[in-house]
């Protein structure tokens, strides 16, 4: 629900509103928060929210419609939040102040939640999260291992506040850092504090945020820009989207502070159009901030003005690269250009431009509120603070997590993530998306920080973590990511355009069973050439999945080309389909399903698969009711 129009003319008025909103949010009243992130929404959380509203209405329970309704301060309130993080168990319902946490909630559970938990303060065990090994139920959010082993800085308010009500953000100290900076901290002091914090860019490169701001601030010019890079395109990544959906004002405040620090008066949020909910909530947040005099001309009665626009991208992965992104905003095709000059020198429309990603900007407010030393207590000296990861794949607890920089891969996968699905063996983690690398069992004790990952041929990237089990073919993994980067190559430079195409051809040849030992050497040679000679970050890092799998799983490549087997049993062309005569009843169901007529035999007699005709599609395996078809 959007908040009513408010106008704030001074830090004193902001402080007064903060006090009222904080009291309303953290008082003794009961508050139901339904996760409205993309994952929970797709699983029916909107229906759950509607059912809870209906159950409350049927029982004539007073509900505070407006956050600051002083007459109903002790009444029940309800909110539809952003992503709560634990996507695996959604839809999620959280009940405050007790912090009860219900998972996999359905609309038909609404009446019981109201009757037992809201009216009688009794918990409902069947809706609690339960440990998969011991069956132990957890009533409260902070008790659940998935959350208990995280450290939230960026995600503190995500899943807690209504992203459509600016007053809820203000009630959690929102825009306080902005007011303090505009009135008490000169721009150079803002840059100094961010530099002192050690914050590095969370978009992948890990460049010092404070240094980037300092460089842009020093470039002369009356017109400068701040650009928020929300073009999140890695397969399996949804960190930036969730922050934009769950706490859009944190990103806006970070952008405004960046503009104040470098001397800019205009900013752009570049967000891919495939994120409609994120774009919608950002538009609402911008409108509310403008109405509240926290964005626009003469912010909070000062001489500082800053305006923000949203630019929707068309989904080109290369536009995550800052110069390609800038070209897209300018209305041109998103293609990188050589550097220098860097955007800090000549960026958007030739003006000094500071480009930061969503998570980087969301950290800014917390640092300026609590200080650089507070931020540095998390992480390690060269990689301070926390990092948000999207944990996906063959892990038990998929979702959005935030851990200290330097947390080991083992802690992320087995403590926060709960281990591997089906109690299978861990095989690898693809970190950093198509630009990242694959880590093995030997890397489980590796700290997740910029320098440690770079030392083993991987990278933090934007924060995608895809966990894979023992049944994963690493050659196919390399082929999958190379197929993605080849399609997403803008084609500007020859090495990337032709090199990724050639690498994909070799990988497809290997997984098809036609590869040779020489192909492995050619693949490595092309990968190194593309890495060393490409123009932009996409091309330079595109070979990482290939090079890392060749380094750590070379035996799997050799098995494909020398022994003509896929050790993981995943590559279809290495599979052999046959029929066990003793089990076959001659029903001919498999023969009718075979698209190429490769199965022969008389009715009620054992059938045979002609290996020369078989295309290994698996239709016979799916069709056989007697389990007579086997795959080797």
- List, in order of start, the domains of the chain with CATH numbers: 13-144 (3.40.30.10), 166-376 (3.40.50.11540), 395-469 (3.10.20.600), 474-563 (1.20.1440.230), 575-631 (3.30.70.20)
- Residue 95 CA to chain centroid, in angstroms? 25
Cα–Cα distance list, 150 to 84, 156, 386 (Å): 13, 11, 9
pLDDT digits 0-9 by tens, 504-518: 999 999 999 999 999
CB 135 within 8 A of CB 129: no
pLDDT at site 237:
82
**Token digits for 231?**
């073009």
Task: State the Cα–Cα distance between residues 102 and 123, nearest whole angstrom.
Answer: 9
Task: State the Cα–Cα distance between residues 454 and 468, nearest whole angstrom.
Answer: 21
pLDDT at site 317:
82
Task: State the Cα–Cα distance between residues 200 and 212, nearest whole angstrom.
Answer: 10
CB 87 within 8 A of CB 149: no
Closest CA to 323 of 304, 302, 340: 340
Task: State the Cα–Cα distance between residues 45 and 51, nearest whole angstrom.
Answer: 10
Task: State the Cα–Cα distance between residues 390 and 384, nearest whole angstrom.
Answer: 19
User: Which contiguous run of DSSP H or E holds residue 429?
Assistant: strand 426-431
Task: State the Cα–Cα distance between residues 184 and 476, nearest whole angstrom.
Answer: 56
Which stretches of 359-411 are assigned E, i.e. beta strand?
A: 379-380, 383-384, 386-393, 399-404
257-287 burial, b for 16+ CB within 10 Å, e for fewer? bbbbbbbbbbbbbbbbeebebbbebbebbbe
pLDDT at site 509:
95
**Bond prior to 91 in cis (omega within 30° of 0):** yes
User: Which contiguous run of DSSP H or E holds residue 38?
Assistant: helix 38-42
**Token digits for 197?**
């914090």
Task: State the Cα–Cα distance between residues 367 and 196, nearest whole angstrom.
Answer: 10
The angle subtended at Cα 30 by Cα 25 and Cα 32, nearest 5°, is: 85
Residues in the chain: 632
Task: State the Cα–Cα distance between residues 406 and 379, nearest whole angstrom.
Answer: 6
**Maximum Cα–Cα distance across the chain:** 90
Q: Which residues of the chain have pLDDT under 50?
A: 1
106-128 burial, b for 16+ CB within 10 Å, e for fewer? ebebbbebbeebbeeeebbeebb
pLDDT at site 70:
63
- What are all long-range contacts of 589-593, with beta carbons under 8 Å and residues at least 24 apart? 589/623, 589/624, 589/625, 590/619, 590/620, 590/623, 590/624, 590/629, 592/623, 593/619, 593/620, 593/622, 593/623
Spatial neighbors of 537 by CB under 8 A, at least 6 apart, are 204, 205, 321, 336, 435
Q: Parallel, antiparallel, or unpaired: how do β-strands 31-35 and 77-81 relate? A: parallel
Task: State the Cα–Cα distance between residues 279 and 269, nearest whole angstrom.
Answer: 9
pTM of the predicted structure, to 2 decimals: 0.91
Closest CA to 313 of 270, 278, 355, 277: 270
User: Which contiguous run of DSSP H or E holds residue 452?
Assistant: helix 450-455
Task: State the Cα–Cα distance between residues 504 and 489, nearest whole angstrom.
Answer: 13
DSSP state letter for 76: B
Spatial neighbors of 443 by CB under 8 A, at least 6 apart, are 409, 429, 456
DSSP state letter for 299: G
Which stretches of 36-144 are assigned E, i.e. beta strand?
A: 77-81, 93-96, 100-102, 129-130, 137-138
pLDDT at site 573:
83
pLDDT at site 253:
98
Task: State the Cα–Cα distance between residues 161 and 79, nearest whole angstrom.
Answer: 7
- Residue 433 CA to chain centroid, in angstroms? 11
Spatial neighbors of 505 by CB under 8 A, at least 6 apart, are none
pLDDT at site 170:
96
pLDDT digits 0-9 by tens, 297-329: 999 999 999 999 999 998 888 888 899 999 999
Residue written as token pair 């992965």: 317
Task: State the Cα–Cα distance between residues 621 and 627, nearest whole angstrom.
Answer: 8
Q: Parallel, antiparallel, or unpaired: how do β-strands 599-600 and 608-609 relate? A: antiparallel
Q: Is the dihedral of CA 347, 348, 354, 359 positive or negative?
A: negative
């Amino acid at each position: 629900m959007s908040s009513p129009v408010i106008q704030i003319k001074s830090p004193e008025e902001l402080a007064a509103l903060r006090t009222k909103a904080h009291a309303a949010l953290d008082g003794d009243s009961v508050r139901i928060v339904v996760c409205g992130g993309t994952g929970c929404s797709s699983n029916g959380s909107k229906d759950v929210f509607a059912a809870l509203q209906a159950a409350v209405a049927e029982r004539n329970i007073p509900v505070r419609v407006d956050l600051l309704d002083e007459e109903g301060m002790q009444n029940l309130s309800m909110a539809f939040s952003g992503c709560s993080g634990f996507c695996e168990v959604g839809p999620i319902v959280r009940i405050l102040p007790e912090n009860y946490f219900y998972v996999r909630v359905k609309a038909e559970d609404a009446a019981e939640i109201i009757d037992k938990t809201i009216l009688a303060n009794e918990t409902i065990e069947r809706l609690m999260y339960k440990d998969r090994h011991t069956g132990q139920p957890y009533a409260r959010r902070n008790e659940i291992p998935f959350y208990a082993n995280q450290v939230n800085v960026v995600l503190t308010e995500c899943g807690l506040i209504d992203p459509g009500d600016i007053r809820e953000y203000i009630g959690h100290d929102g825009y306080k850092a902005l007011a303090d900076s505009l009135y008490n901290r000169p721009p150079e002091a803002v840059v100094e504090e961010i530099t002192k914090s050690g914050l590095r860019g969370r978009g992948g490169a890990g460049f010092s945020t404070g240094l980037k701001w300092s460089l842009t601030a020093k470039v002369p010019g009356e017109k400068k820009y701040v650009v928020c890079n929300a073009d999140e395109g890695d397969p399996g990544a949804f960190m930036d989207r969730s922050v934009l959906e769950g706490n859009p004002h944190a990103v806006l405040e970070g952008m405004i502070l960046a503009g104040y620090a470098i001397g800019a008066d205009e900013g752009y949020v570049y967000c891919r159009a495939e994120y409609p909910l994120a774009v919608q909530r950002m538009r609402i947040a911008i409108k509310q901030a403008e109405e509240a005099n926290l964005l626009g001309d003469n912010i909070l009665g000062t001489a500082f003005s800053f305006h923000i626009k949203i630019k929707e991208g068309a989904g080109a992965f290369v536009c995550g690269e800052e110069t390609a992104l800038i070209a897209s905003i300018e209305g041109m095709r998103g293609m990188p250009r050589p550097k220098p000059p860097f955007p800090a020198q000549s960026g958007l429309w030739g003006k000094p431009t500071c480009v930061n990603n969503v998570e980087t900007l969301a950290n800014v407010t917390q640092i300026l509120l609590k200080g650089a030393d507070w931020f540095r207590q998390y992480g390690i000296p060269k990689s301070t603070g926390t990092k948000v990861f999207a944990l996906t794949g063959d892990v038990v607890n998929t979702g959005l997590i935030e851990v200290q920089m330097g947390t080991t891969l083992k802690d992320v996968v087995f403590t926060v993530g709960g281990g591997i699905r089906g109690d299978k063996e861990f095989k690898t983690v693809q970190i950093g998306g198509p630009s990242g690398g694959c880590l093995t069992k030997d890397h489980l004790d590796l700290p997740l920080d910029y320098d440690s990952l770079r030392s083993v041929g991987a990278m933090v990237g934007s924060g995608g973590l895809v966990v894979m089990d023992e049944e994963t073919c690493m050659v196919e993994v390399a082929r999958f990511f190379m197929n993605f980067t080849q399609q997403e190559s803008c084609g500007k430079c020859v090495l990337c355009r032709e090199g990724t195409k050639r690498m994909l051809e070799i990988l497809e040849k290997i997984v098809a069973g036609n590869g040779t030992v020489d192909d492995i050497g050619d693949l490595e040679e092309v990968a190194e050439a593309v890495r060393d000679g490409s123009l932009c970050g996409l091309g330079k890092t595109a070979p990482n999945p290939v090079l890392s799998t060749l380094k750590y799983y070379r035996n799997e490549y050799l098995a494909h080309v020398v022994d003509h087997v896929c050790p993981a049993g995943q590559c279809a062309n290495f599979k052999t389909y046959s029929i066990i005569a003793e089990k076959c009843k001659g029903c001919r169901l498999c023969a009718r399903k075979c698209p190429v007529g490769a199965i022969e035999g008389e009715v009620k007699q054992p059938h045979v698969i002609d290996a020369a005709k078989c295309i290994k599609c698996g239709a016979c395996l799916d069709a056989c009711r007697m389990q007579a078809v086997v795959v080797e």
